[in-house]
Amino acid sequence: MPTLLIVHHTPSPNCQAMFEAVLSGATADGIEGVKVVRRAALSATAADVLDADGYLLGTPANLGYMSGALKHFFDQVYYPCLDTTRGRPFGYYVHGGNDVTGAVRGIESITTGLGWRRAADGVTVTGEPGKADVERCWELGATVAAGLMD
């Protein structure tokens, strides 16, 4: 069964709201035959990445970049997963207070290095997620999961 791995750093209620919406979309009625695995970024391993067929990444913007937790994840898995995971689909969401530019740039840069294929537009939210923001997160999860259906 194809596997979707969600790797997330979720330190606050606003990040949690985005994570839950992404998870809800990825496991929605109509998404058949896709196993969804979720890992906190500090506990995700290269084996998790190698075992999965697609990825969703979630992080706050911190000090102009992705969280240290998600960066640590990439630091750990980059070389063990390089080449083997090339071409696999991914999506991401970023929550920030006012400016998520550096976090987005970092995610786009590292995933380009890995050769992953972005399967949906990244979702960025600043401040408290509104209804439309939550819906965009849901769509992100559903889109990436649906792409893994046989």
Interface residues with ligand FMN (CB under 6 A) are 12-15, 60-64, 95-100, 126
Give one DSSP letter per residue of 111-125, joined into a string. Answer: HHHHT-EE-S--EEE
Closest approach of Cβ 136 to ligand FMN, in Å? Answer: 16
Candidates 68, 78, 91; CA nearest to 18 is 91
Candidates 22, 3, 5; CA nearest to 95 is 22
* CA–CA gap between residue 107 and residue 5 (Å, rounded): 16
Residue nearest to ligand FMN (CB): 96
Give how far the C-alpha of residue 9 lies from the chain's centroid of Cα atoms, to the nearest Å. 10
Decide whether 129 or 141 has the Cβ nearer to ligand FMN.
129
Decide whether 38 or 95 has the Cβ nearer to ligand FMN.
95
Decide whether 64 or 113 has the Cβ nearer to ligand FMN.
64
Candidates 17, 34, 4; CA nearest to 127 is 17
Closest approach of Cβ 90 to ligand FMN, in Å? Answer: 20
Decide whether 54 or 96 has the Cβ nearer to ligand FMN.
96
Torsions phi, psi of 58, nearest 5?
-135, 135
Closest approach of Cβ 71 to ligand FMN, in Å? Answer: 13
Closest approach of Cβ 32 to ligand FMN, in Å? Answer: 33
